Amino acid sequence: MIKELNAAGYTYAYEPAKEGNALTLLLLHGTGGDHTSFIGLGRLVSPGAALIALKGNVNENGNLRFFRRHGEGVYDMDDLAMRTLRLADAIPELLAEHGRDPAMVVGIGYSNGANLLGNLVFERPGSLAGAVLMHPLLPYEPPMRDLSGKPVLITYGRRDPVTSTEHVEEIISRLRERRADVTADLMEAGHEVRDPELKAVAKWLKAFGKGDPEES
């Protein structure tokens, strides 16, 4: 049963962990999705984890997003910066609300949600213990901060018309330049999420829980 709650300026769906599972997933949907649908992805990739699925707080012609844009691929950079800091400030309150350990929280974002989480990793890396970025974009040159050991999984599609392989591989390069522990998984897919991608995320999360995310 989905519990819809409000805290730290967000509406979100919450499911508690099962059998003392220490892992918490912070889930951010893509444009047009919502918190109630994306929590299902969390169940698939880590059935026992605590799930906090945020609802996008920007409405673009009826589609929920996490930051504003001026048009397709033209982002409002001031809004992205503001909402990145707002999310960073909200995470400790969201975790405290449910008694969850900050050292075991992994953000999972898809498309627009991945873009906000990716920005968070570069700008406020201490906000998450790890991150899964599914089909991300990075609309600017990120700051040169030390991300040593930060576990990050990036999944992307070879035929993705929204996030090209070249662009995603630039993000991977930027993360590795900053010494993040990056696993990159290129899928035979477009912008959609298919079963092999979910299995790759589940495998990475299982390794994260054991303290040894795989690197590729």
Does the annotation count 111 as an active-site position? yes
The answer to whether residue 46 sits within a structural domain is: yes
Does the annotation count 191 as an active-site position? yes
Q: Which residue range forms the structural domain that includes residue 109?
A: 3-210
Neighbours of 56 (CB within 10 A): 26
State the pLDDT at residue 109. Answer: 98
State the pLDDT at residue 4. Answer: 82
Look up residue 19 and give its two tokens. 């059998």
Q: What CATH number is given to the structural domain containing 109?
A: 3.40.50.1820
Low-confidence ranges of the chain (pLDDT < 50): 215-216
The answer to whether residue 215 sits within a structural domain is: no
Q: Looking at 111, 127, 135, 181, which residue is catalytic?
A: 111
Alpha-carbon distance of 211 to 9, in angstroms, equals 32
State the pLDDT at residue 160. Answer: 96
Does the annotation count 37 as an active-site position? no
pTM of the predicted model as reported, rounded to 2 decimal places: 0.93
Rounded to 5 degrees, what are φ and ψ at 22? -85, -15
